[in-house]
Structure 1
């Protein structure tokens, strides 16, 4: 197994300070951080700080992207077709895919083969669950669309036999189906 990054061996309070300093410095200024850590009594190279900073920056970017996606979904998606669930499933599927790629890229010296198989097995089970959820969500969406279409057809028939104009019937149909005019 690979040895831990020297930054990860720092006391939690120092790591918390470093995380904040990295974010405040926009993930730059590694020489200054090396000096500041030296002043605190820790001999950590700027290269080690940079590797650690890249990992934190990726994690921070992923959290920021997920938060932004969730905000946009909440603001912009009326959930009548379960659009939020579909988007969340897609986000999780993307994250699972990226994790599997990283697992495959990890060198043999980085991980015990039995641990690697266990992680892949767990990922496969989670992917199967996600696939079922995705299929069920799409099936639900198609059922809702079919019900809306049937309702629109029934209303169209009633409206036309009731004496409304074709334009009025079309406007009602569009309203039921959610079609912009």
Structure 2
């Protein structure tokens, strides 16, 4: 079992400070950040010295994590918006971010192993988890209802078009054709 990294031995509030410092610096200035980190640890009375290379490695990993989290969040928001689920997107944004974070951590862990490959069976479990969340949130049902409604409307429009063509060929007036068309499309509720 590998030794824990020194950064992971620092208290959570110090790691949170480090993450904020990395973001605020634009992922640069690692030497200054390392000095500030070690000074902070010393102020806290923690006998731990962390090297610049460890801070740089942690910073690069955290930067990748933030990038993937933002990409996943943008994808989820875009997908939900494209499917007319803006309100669902707001309610489930936190849940999707949590899942994204877990998936990223898992993939990072798997890539860090000796052969650096992700077992497809493990990806299956991530996919299943996402599917279960979607099903539990009602997204899937809404998509299916919307699709059924779209298909039904399209069928009505085609039937109304066919009827209008036939009625015109039989010599009915434009007003009569339109009235029949509206009856088919809207059931007289317009």
TM-score with structure 2 setting the length: 0.55
Aligned-pair CA distance for 1:58: 1.3
Is 1:69 equivalent to 2:75 in the alignment? yes
Q: Which has the higher contact order (CA 8 A, sep 6+)?
A: 1
Provide, for residues 89-115 of structure 1, a one-character-per-residue CA deviation record: whole Å limited to 9, x for no partner: xxx89x96995586266227x9xxxxx
Structure 1 unmatched runs, 5+: 111-115, 173-181
Larger Rg over CA atoms:
2
CA–CA separation in structure 1 for the residues paired with 2:104 and 2:36:
38
CA distance in 2, matches of 1:31, 1:20: 16
For residue 147 of structure 1, the aligned residue among 152, 161, 166 is: 152
61-70 or 28-37: which moved more? 61-70
Residue 110 (structure 2) aligns with: 103
Match of 1:57 among 53, 59, 63: 63
Root mean square deviation of aligned Cα? 4.5
* Aligned mates of 2:106, 2:38 — CA distance in 1: 34
Could you tell me which runs of 5 or more consecutive residues in structure 2 were left unpaired when the two chains were aligned: 43-47, 94-98, 135-139, 183-190
TM-score by length of 1: 0.57
